[in-house]
Amino acid sequence: MLRRLGAIVASTLLTTVPKSFTKQTAFYKMSTSAYSIVERGSPYSLDYRVFLRGPNGFISPFHDIPLYADKEQRIFNMVVEIPRWTNAKMEINKEERLNPIKQDVKKEKPRYVDNCFPHHGYIWNYGALPQTWEDPNHIDSNTQAKGDNDPIDVCEIGFKVHAQGSVVQVKVLGCFALIDEGETDWKILAIDVTDPLAKQLNDLSDIEQHLPGFLHASREWFKVYKIPQGKPANQFAFNGEPKNRDFALNIIDETHRYWTALMSQQGQAADISTHNTTVTGSATKIEQEDAQAIVDQAPPLGPAQPIPVEVDRWHYIRL
């Protein structure tokens, strides 16, 4: 069951409008209800791709989904790449047109994260904030390390297991500053606005109060998850201490400015496809006919490939 959480019927509608929110604009309602996925290729294979559709056709989850679901309330859109408890290392593909979600590749094979006891797979719904970019040409003043060339990562800590490709509205609570192989890799901590705890969680300190041990477990997960592959423990800025909501919001604003520069061709990223279908003024905006052709070039949805048995192995880490 856990293995198939990432494989959803093509074109399934993935988000709903939270009933508890009565003051959202029409745009906010559109952003919560209008996204679906189209799968191509075979899950857990090198050709598997998850394309996203918006209200008017195919979109890039990197560039076309607005960063904000509600700017006034500081509610963000999050694209779920990896459902909680799963191991397949799925990510928005920066290089391909329309930036479909695909499984990362290591040594020409689909990549999975190891289970570092007592953790199984990812311990949050893991994904990215659209319209953000950690600029690899910028040395962050907080970490003294360059950006990792990706949209900013999000760990959604609510109780639901969200489907791959879901667009979830989240409240930001704080962040970790991971230094991954010498690069700044911010990890935003957030919660689904429809989660029962969302009203009680408003900042970093609330996580420890209502979810005791969760911050420690999250820091440990990021520190050790590459050790089974023979790599050293990851390092953190700020001695591994997470930063609060206001700090995280400033980081998000900064990475959004870098994305804006990228799309206006002021940023330098030769390996990123900026093709999109909705960004006004973008030189790489394409029509739906071209977007459909990109999707049609991918192989049809096929049966899921077997997950290697070693993915279920426990790894016991001694630091």
| Structure tokens, 22 | 């009565």
Residue 24 has pLDDT above 50, yes or no: no
pTM strictly above 0.85: yes
Q: Which one is predicted more confidently, 41 or 28? A: 41
What residues have CB less than 8 Å from 55, skipping those under 6 apart? Answer: 30, 34
Model pLDDT, residue 318: 87
State the Cα angle at 11 between 49 and 262, rounded to 5°: 50
Establish how many alpha carbons lie within 13 A of residue 254's alpha carbon, considering only the half-sphere containing its beta carbon.
16
Average pLDDT (204-230) is 96
The DSSP secondary-structure symbol of 13 reads: B
Residue 298 has pLDDT above 90, yes or no: yes
Instruction: Report pLDDT digits (tens) over 126-149.
Output: 999 999 999 999 999 999 999 999
Model pLDDT, residue 181: 87
Model pLDDT, residue 3: 40
Model pLDDT, residue 267: 61
Residue 224 has pLDDT above 80, yes or no: yes
Residue 25 has pLDDT above 70, yes or no: no
Model pLDDT, residue 121: 97
Model pLDDT, residue 257: 97
Burial of 189 (0-12, 13-18, 19+ CB in 10 A): buried
Question: Which band of pLDDT confidence, cut at 50, 70 and 90, is reported for residue 319?
Answer: confident
Model pLDDT, residue 1: 37
Instruction: Report pLDDT digits (tens) over 80-112.
Output: 999 999 999 999 999 999 999 999 999 999 999
Whose structure tokens read 């003051």? 23
Question: Which band of pLDDT confidence, cut at 50, 70 and 90, is reported for residue 265?
Answer: confident
